[in-house]
Structure 1
Amino acid sequence: MRHAKKAATNPFQTDHQAQHKAECTRTGWTANITHAATHVAACGAMLALGALILPHLSISPLPAAVALLWIGVTHGFIDRRWPVARWMKFARQEGWAQHGGAAHVDQTGHILAVVAAGLFIAAIG
């Protein structure tokens, strides 16, 4: 199924990934996974930088790895687009979805996943 052309929405995503990451094709899955992996690498770099400039904080490798895996999996899942569409239907937000609301729900989901990962690291790591 062809979708309207989508442009990248952040510095860690190509236009190709934005256009194809929700497709159930090899191209779609590759775009989705490479985008999520790039996001995990960026989050890992920021986590390492935080540990470097804040040496008094103790971050154990296993909880950090679990948190980064969580970020990657949830990012890829949210970016399949159908979870956002289902949420908006469940929340009776179809009108907002038709007027660009899905992008806001998508970003909120990503932020919540990263916050959950941070809280996990703070509690465990």
Structure 2
Amino acid sequence: MTSGAVFAAVFTALFASHVWADHCWQTDKQAAEKGRPEPGAGAMKARESWRALIAHVVVYHLVMAVMLAVTTALLDLPISWAGAAAGIAFSAVTHGCWDRRWLVKAWMVLTGSREFAKNPQGRYSVDQAQHVFCLWVSALLIPLV
């Protein structure tokens, strides 16, 4: 199997797991709380927010690991456990960072999208684009490690 085919299969598994886990496995509470609080909101709100974020990231990446494992087994992909762990770890760290929301807003301001950042759909679109970019990096890491 060519390296391009392995990358394509891995990226497809990661992208499918992202869409499914981020939209179908995330609870309303996780979605509402994971990006809060804004700085200075208090310790109690911060703990609730971190719990929601961690729960979302863990479930999301368990779904990803299962879907990647099934894809690897069925297609006999030549990837290592270390490669899978590296790619999933990169995804987990970056997913958690982007889902804090302030980073998405800061990125949008930095790149000249201050008005688009005021629109919830704009922030959601950039959040999803950042996740997909990070999945691309993960899909490159997995067969290389």
- Fold conserved (TM > 0.5)? yes
Displacement of 1:12 after TM fit?
2.0
Aligned residue for 1:66?
A: 86
Displacement of 1:123 after TM fit?
2.5
Whether 2:68 is the aligned partner of 1:47: answer: yes
Q: How is 1:1-125 mapped onto 2 (pairs within 5 angstroms)?
A: 10-24=23-37, 25-55=46-76, 57-99=77-119, 100-124=121-145
Structure 1 unpaired stretches of 5+: 1-8
- Give the structure, 1 or 2, with the largest relative contact order (CA under 8 Å, sep 6 or more): 2
Distance 1:113 1:104 in 2: 14
Displacement of 1:96 after TM fit?
1.2
Number of aligned residue pairs? 115
Distance 1:98 1:26 in 2: 26
TM-score (norm 2): 0.75
Aligned residue for 2:14?
A: none
Structure 2 unpaired stretches of 5+: 1-21, 38-45
Distance 1:69 1:76 in 2: 11
Distance 2:94 2:131 in 1: 7
- Do 2:34 and 2:53's aligned partners in 1 also have CA atoms closer than 8 Å? yes
Q: Which has the higher helix share?
A: 2
Identity of counterpart residues, as a percentage?
34
Distance 1:93 1:116 in 2: 24
* Cα offsets for 1:61-107 (capped at 9, x unmatched): 01111111111111111000011000000011011122321100000
Letter in 1 for 2:134: A
Distance 2:137 2:109 in 1: 24
- Do 2:35 and 2:53's aligned partners in 1 also have CA atoms closer than 8 Å? yes
